[in-house]
Amino acid sequence: MTALIDLEGVIKDYASEAGSFRALDGVSLRIMPGELVSIMGPSGSGKSTLMNIIGCLDTASAGHYRFKGKDTRELSETELAALRGGGIGFVFQGFNLLPRLTALANTALPMVYAGTSASARKARAAELLASVGLADKLASRPTQLSGGQQQRVAIARALANQPALLLADEPTGALDSKTGVEVLALFRQLNESRGVTVVIVTHDPAVARATNRVVRIQDGRITHDGPPEAIAEQAPAA
């Protein structure tokens, strides 16, 4: 089976007035379709850079990143944008919902850019909101929803164009602990019921242990790749 995510010797350098900085130092990583994985590391470890490359929001300085077997270095900007819009669904800590739009309209928004018909958008958005437990909140605006409900809308929106990958950046960071546990359970449910690959980027060991596989990154290098049981209890590093 072809890996969904296949990084080989990925290096990412940033230049500044103070000199160059290597954020990723030869990262190799394979994630297969249907996996539920966390990428864990403290601030400055390189996890956000790795997330940006996996999400095709940034490109590697050296090495290869293949998404579904296709080398992203060979894609044009238009092709990368199409991959982000259809192949990858993004979930962020801050929800990023449009305040004037209802939950239904926020969820349907990616389908507008994909050219989906209005009737199909409405039907799929309603189905997705029901699948995340918000069938009774279709007409609610973000200010009428709790933080957990807003994140559920954001997850539904991320699934709008049936992506192969759901990429979540600190998805419980703005939530209380109880709501965070509920959101993590939702990711597992969607992973198991829909078969969507889920990659969660986090600094929190408790979040990492809610996945099936933990990739730990430190100083731009992978230092652990294995089951969550191997992650020892420790205080989260901000």
Q: What is the CATH number of the domain that holds 81?
A: 3.40.50.300
pTM of the model: 0.92
pLDDT value of position 1:
86
pLDDT value of position 16:
77
In a domain, 211, yes or no: yes
Residue from 29, 50, 56 nearest 220 by CA? 50
In a domain, 40, yes or no: yes
In a domain, 1, yes or no: no
Read off the pLDDT of each residue in 130-156 and give the average, rounded to a whole number.
Answer: 96
In a domain, 118, yes or no: yes
Structural domain count of the chain: 1
In a domain, 27, yes or no: no
Per-residue model confidence as pLDDT tens digits over 218-231 = 999 999 999 988 77
- Whether the predicted pLDDT of 232 surpasses 80: no
In a domain, 15, yes or no: no
pLDDT value of position 113:
86
Per-residue model confidence as pLDDT tens digits over 64-120 = 999 999 999 999 999 999 999 889 999 998 999 999 999 999 999 999 988 899 999
- Beta-sheet strand order (sheet of 197-202): 88-92, 165-169, 197-202, 36-40, 213-218, 221-226
Token duo for residue 167: 């990429």
Q: Are 124 and 108 in contact (CB under 8 A)?
A: yes
Beta bridge partners of 88: 165
Residue from 58, 63, 69 nearest 167 by CA? 58
- Tell me the three-class secondary structure of the chain, residue by residue: CCCCEEEEEEEEEEEECCEEEEEEEEEEEEECCCCEEEEECCCCCCHHHHHHHHCCCCCCCEEEEEECCEEHHHCCHHHHHHHHHHHEEEEECCCCCCCCCCHHHHHHHHHHHCCCCHHHHHHHHHHHHHHCCCCCCCCCCHHHCCHHHHHHHHHHHHCCCCCCEEEEECCCCCCCHHHHHHHHHHHHHHHHHHCCEEEEEECCHHHHCCCCEEEEEECCEEEEEECHHHCCCCCCCC
In a domain, 7, yes or no: no
High-pLDDT (> 90) share of the chain, %: 87
- Whether the predicted pLDDT of 144 surpasses 90: yes
Instruction: Give residue 95's domain range.
Output: 34-62+76-230
In a domain, 151, yes or no: yes
